[in-house]
Structure 1
């Protein structure tokens, strides 16, 4: 099966697991686990940074799979902060070349980050996936992860 097909199957699995679940934590935990299991070890770190309700311009680590993550990331810092500010997903083939990169783990070499919006269209979190490989992510990863995140909080 090609990668796009694999993402379609994974999205259907995540949708099925989280359908009717009222806990956002359970939704994020399930999605990060399923994604990490499906694409590991390429997905070295897979998880969510949630918008802190007490500090609206700051992300706080949520459910994830991988090594210890940064606890907090300001909206104006790093790849996750960039996506939180712009609301647009991004692929970074070499995190060391990204201005203002926040190095939560020195083993990370490339990254893909996708915004997660709530049912009202407000930014709720970002999905962050890191790889130890350079240029580990492509348009299939982008489309697949955007599809997963698109309805993660609305089904």
Structure 2
């Protein structure tokens, strides 16, 4: 992903987040923005930490029907959340414990959402091709999440 696209997406995100305090509305627009601008992806959305049930729960997304609950440390999302680090998976079939919500998914990237030391959830993006996500994508999506976290 080029720097121009990165800049454009972050500017658009800032514009849609401006003066809107509602978390669900903001995450909905953020997932739509990513799904619309990223090529070769089949799912883009969020899982949010449920402090009562102590698991990630499906939040706003774009794509096919998804898994609703993910335990802390399970699959790519649960692992990224537990370890508080972005995970890029070139081939989901090689990731131990991968949770297959969409059989078409071949690669995945998950960015944890952490604000002021509080874990909020994760951004999860799936692709129907292997090796879809580069280190540049990782950097761009971490920057995207930083913009998002400033507003929520």
TM, length-normalised to structure 1: 0.93
Shift of residue 140, structure 1, vs aligned partner: 1.4
Shift of residue 16, structure 1, vs aligned partner: 1.4
Listed one character per residue, the Cα deviations across residues 52-74 of structure 1 (whole Å, up to 9, x for unaligned) are 13123x10000000000100000
Aligned to 1:79: 76
Aligned to 2:90: 93
Listed one character per residue, the Cα deviations across residues 75-103 of structure 1 (whole Å, up to 9, x for unaligned) are 12100000110110010000000001011
Matches of 1:144 and 1:26, distance apart in 2: 22
Mark the runs of 5 or more structure 2 residues left unpaired by the alignment.
none
Local SS of the residue matching 2:150: coil
Shift of residue 23, structure 1, vs aligned partner: 0.7
TM, length-normalised to structure 2: 0.95
Aligned to 2:128: 132
Mark the runs of 5 or more structure 1 residues left unpaired by the alignment.
none
CA RMSD of aligned residues (A): 1.2
Aligned to 1:154: 150
Listed one character per residue, the Cα deviations across residues 3-42 of structure 1 (whole Å, up to 9, x for unaligned) are 23201210111011112211110111010001100014x1
Alignment of 1:46-85 (within 5 A): 46-56=44-54, 58-85=55-82
Local SS of the residue matching 1:152: helix
Matches of 1:9 and 1:122, distance apart in 2: 28
